[in-house]
Amino acid sequence: MAKTFDDQPKPSMKERVSKLNGSVQGSQAWNSIFRPGSIFRKGYTDSPRNRSYVIMNNVLYHLHPVKVKRHAVKVSYTLCLGGLSFFLFILLTVTGIFLMFFYRPTDVAAWNDISNLQIGDVVRAGELTIPEGVELVDDPEMAIITALAGRIEVEPEPTEGEEGEEGETAEGAAAAESSDAE
């Protein structure tokens, strides 16, 4: 037999809202946001212990506390590290935007820039091709690139009496080779 819904009375609006409220407040998302100990759930009395508990459990209050001690604001204590890090972030962003527009990461462009250099050549600032509307601020005789010859380091060959490859001396290796030949 099929059950009919007519047997049960239709819940009132208040019962439906309370049921919805119970299911929302019992959800995992609600418990993660309004966890036990949260000021949203139980409030807090204004004591130093509860204030520090709230600050440690809330990132926003940790970054921007309600009260700050006088010595914590002195420049000798903070060294403007927040301002310096923000300035460096802005500098990194601006230089990244410039590189995004002007940097050409192709091997063809790089090869065309250095293909005619010989060892000992110096590229000066005045020799660069500068686009229209851009003027050179530095001294045109300032060296930008100097082509130098590469160096190869050669390891000296071991002489007689020095240790060889397997920890033996050169004389011991020669004696072992002669005994293998026999």
pTM, two decimals, is 0.31
State the amino acid at position 75 in one-letter form. V
Q: Is 145 helix (H, G, I), strand (E, B) or coil?
A: strand
Find residue 67's DSSP bridge partners: none
Structural tokens at position 129: 């091709």
- What does residue 76 show for φ and ψ, rounded to 5 degrees? -65, -20
Q: How far is CA 39 from CA 43, 46, 61, 65, 143, in A?
A: 4, 11, 12, 15, 64
For the chain, the domains span: 15-67, 69-103, 106-151
Give pLDDT tens digits for 70-119. Answer: 888 888 888 888 888 999 999 999 999 998 888 777 777 777 777 788 88
Which residues fall within 8 angstroms of residue 121, CB to CB, at 6 or more apart? 146, 147
